[in-house]
Amino acid sequence: MTPPNDGVRRWLHRLRTAEAFSATQELVVLFLVTSWLLAFGLIPLRIGHLHISRTELGLVGADEPRYAQVAREMLQVHSDECHALHTTVRPHSLAWKDLSASYHCLTAGAITPILYGVPWLEKPALYYWRAMSFFKEFGISDWSARLPSTTATFALILLIYLHMRRFRPGGHLDAALITASCIAMVAFSRGASTDMQLAAPFSIGMLGWYAWYETGKKFWLFDLYFFGGAATLAKGPIAPFMIICILLLFAGLRREWNIVRRTIWLPGVALYLAMVLPWFIAVQLRNPDFYRLFFLQHNLERFTTDRYQHHQSIYYYLVVLILGLMPWTVMSLRAMVDSIQISVAEWRVRHNRVRYVGNTRPGDAFPEFLVIWAIFPVLFFTFSGSKLPGYILPAIAPITILTGDYLYRIRQYKLKWWMLGGHALVVSTMTFVLLLCPQYMIYERFVPAAKTIFWAALWATVTGVAICLIVRRWGTKYLRTVTLAPVLAMLFFLLRMNGWLLDANYSARPLAERIAQEAPDIPTLATYHIRRDMDYGLAFYRNQPLRHYFHEESATEKVNIIAEIPQEQHILVLRERDIPQLSTILAGRVYTPLFLYEWQGLAVYRVSAGTQTANLSEKPSVHNRR
């Protein structure tokens, strides 16, 4: 072929270097990489006969199936009420009767969270509302139950990109992709929980406030009040409490107390109250115990005591941060140290009354603001009597933003060997551990076979050496690419190649499916001393309340549990080691084994109605490991 002439070459060069085209490229890269990180293995996607993505992992833990079940029951109440009124949320006409019917349809099932038919007032309603809308649109499933967190995370990452591009151009793509690829964001974006419902709007609101602080335009304050209201509807008063404390600390350290007064903007306050008060007032009127249960028990008492059995050491959140920021831990910690040094230098400038030329304020406040925002949630929850990893999720975004900005500022320099080596070591260690996960799940040994360790170590070493060589040879600007590559590859390895292992070991979904195959005509299921996560998981996948053989004392159980042996024919799920107790527990009942679920050490029995002699002659079939 004839090579293009010089004019065409110059035109193509101008096109490649044009700002608009560069922005388009960045958005495409951001969308594709973020979609892979947040949605691969979560949202089912098929093109023809090719499965691009499948829902590889069912709901895990006790919280995911419990929150999803609340949303399902609220949606059922909503649907039943709308059907009874013969209307929808969109009125048939502007007549008062139709408007009133549509209003009652809209609010039906949306006020009081319900779990197994009774009010469940542990959390506000934002997650449930969003899950209800996704259930209505895509059907009730485990993946649609996780969409509220996934979409909230996606919105946060996009707005980090846009905010940084507007106010700190250069490191905007790094900041967004680092946020999307750290373990904490990847994990919580895939959870059917309230943690990301708080962290995402909280972080967006804080960025909006700083945009107002830097520009003085009241428009940006809408972000603070609107997203602050959303965060309050996600988890309650902790959102405005953290916002107020962070802004007060920032104003005090910068000696700019007037920004506190100027932040109190009446249209914004009205917007916040209009968003928050209607639900809190309505749920209190319908449930007189709401104030005591939600504010006193699940907020104040949860913080001051270990009532819910989540006590951890004072160093707990340091470990959570180190793990949650992987694979960017080394760079993030270095960026935090650098930003603290900058903040201290700025404080000294202000203390000496020296101001930068052309700026009405002393120095650059952005690093100082992000440092305060990052440190406060970690310190605050360190002194909590109840500690869970998701509590400090609002601290992740400011750290990853600082990391992206820091990498851009040092891009023209070569990374120091200890930084590059430390970063490569973290990435290779993460790769090594994740490559061994399937072997551990299959053989349940902390030390796998030597051959497996060798190949995992080899791939981890190759990954670390490649990062060092590429960044050392071609510069810091390639650090993002060579770090994201193994992260994306590990996600494919865990979810596409070994997703069935995760599902079998940590979710109740495969067990529920097997029970439905073995005993499709038996609706009732009871459990005996199984783990809480499997208990709630089976209840969600079979859409039935918890039913235990006996009452089990637990400070963490706050729901209506049926504690009796069913008289009708039913399925019993129990631990394998508890099988010898059946002759005593079910004396006079016929029970026959269905199968053993070895992945989680469980046995499944069919228990007949009536009072006949127990049958122990049969042995259950084994649900073999693949």
* 416-425 pLDDT per residue, tens: 889 899 999 9
Task: Single out the residue of 609, 600, 543, 581 nearest to residue 70, CA to CA.
Answer: 543
* 265-312 pLDDT per residue, tens: 999 999 999 999 999 999 999 999 888 888 888 778 777 776 666 677
pLDDT at 415: 84
396 neighbors 185 (Cβ within 8 angstroms): yes
Average pLDDT of the chain to the nearest whole number: 85
Angle 77-78-80 from CA coordinates, rounded to 5°:
65
* 456-489 pLDDT per residue, tens: 899 999 999 999 999 888 888 889 999 999 999 9
Please report, rounded to a whole number, the percentage of residues in the chain having pLDDT higher than 90: 50
* 516-538 pLDDT per residue, tens: 999 999 999 999 989 888 999 99
Q: Is the pLDDT of residue 65 over 80?
A: yes
* 168-210 pLDDT per residue, tens: 888 899 999 999 999 999 999 999 999 999 999 999 999 999 9
Rounded Cα distance, 487 and 145, in Å: 25
179 neighbors 401 (Cβ within 8 angstroms): yes
119 neighbors 100 (Cβ within 8 angstroms): no
Per-residue confidence band for 346, with pLDDT thresholds at 50, 70 and 90:
confident
Structure-derived torsion over alpha carbons of residues 80, 81, 83, 85, reported in degrees to the nearest 10: 160
* 200-220 pLDDT per residue, tens: 999 999 999 999 998 888 889
**152 token code pair:** 């909230």
Helices (H), 216-328: 221-235, 238-254, 258-263, 266-286, 290, 302-304, 316-324
Helices (H), 383-449: 396-409, 417-443
Strand partners, 60: 507
Helix (H, G, I), strand (E, B) or coil at 309: coil
Q: Residue 548 is inside which H or E element, if any?
A: strand 547-548
Per-residue confidence band for 357, with pLDDT thresholds at 50, 70 and 90:
very low
Q: Is the pLDDT of residue 553 over 80?
A: no
pLDDT at 443: 58
Rounded Cα distance, 56 and 605, in Å: 27
